[in-house]
Amino acid sequence: MKNMSKTSLIGWFMLITAIGMGIEILFNWRLFIPLVIGCFLLYTARNARKKSNVRLIIGLFLIAIPILSSAFLKFFIFVAVIYALIEYSKTKKQSHKIVVQTVEPEPKSSVKKKQPFIKNFFIGSQKKVNEVFEWDDINIQCGLGDTVVDLGMTMLPPGESTVVIRSLIGNVQLLVPFDASVVVNHSGISGKLKVFNEETEIFNSNIIYHPDSNEQAIRTIKIITNVMIGNVEVRRI
């Protein structure tokens, strides 16, 4: 068990929970009968010549009853919430900091497939300092904790460069160079969006922001962020 990664432990816990739910529903007729009836209604609604939305909705409702009533599911949610809070309290002590320093890409390259330099991380920290590599659009997914993406030393190519960050819980900070125009597309459930000196409250909304619509800018950074709970800040350095 000591040699198992956190991802493996989570996977095994989810598998054991699913098996426990199946056994619990199978041997509890109060849960098993609604599940069977719901599956039957879904099957008949799908294969009927005339589609029936009523049967579809009732079938989904009957299937949801035993699943949501399962004691194993409630236990899984309880453990998952406790685990997420513990890991989040750990990651708050140290932000995920990514400092990007690039060089001009070579004009010709035979590489058609490669692993991105910046990778996804769910829990923990990732720090890139004084690393030199060719620029690639950034597309990462973060789990719990704060994330900092530093593009201050980045040699961006002419045109539009894209940065996509998806995060569950935590703050995201992006540091951009002065000579680049910025476009921000943010979606969030709860938090704040601060672009330079302007701040906007976010509550289950999406906002597209052009703080400096400079059509003559040679380089543009398009920032797309999806943060469930947390603040997003974009500032120049």
Q: Examine the domain organization and report whether 100 and 214 are in the same domain.
A: yes
- What's the pLDDT band for 130 if we cut at 50, 70, 90? very low
d(CA 38, CA 61): 7
User: Is residue 112 one of the residues assigned to a domain?
Assistant: no
Q: Examine the domain organization and report whether 170 and 228 are in the same domain.
A: yes
Residue 187: the pLDDT is 93
Q: Examine the domain organization and report whether 200 and 134 are in the same domain.
A: yes
Q: Examine the domain organization and report whether 135 and 192 are in the same domain.
A: yes
32 or 7, higher pLDDT: 32
Nearest to 144 by CA among 129, 166, 116, 119: 166
| Domain span holding position 19 | 6-91
User: Is residue 214 one of the residues assigned to a domain?
Assistant: yes
User: Is residue 113 one of the residues assigned to a domain?
Assistant: no
Residue 128: the pLDDT is 43
d(CA 202, CA 211): 17
How many structural domains are present in the chain?
Answer: 2
Determine the average pLDDT of the residues in 30-55: 81
Q: Examine the domain organization and report whether 18 and 87 are in the same domain.
A: yes
Q: Examine the domain organization and report whether 32 and 54 are in the same domain.
A: yes
140 or 212, higher pLDDT: 140
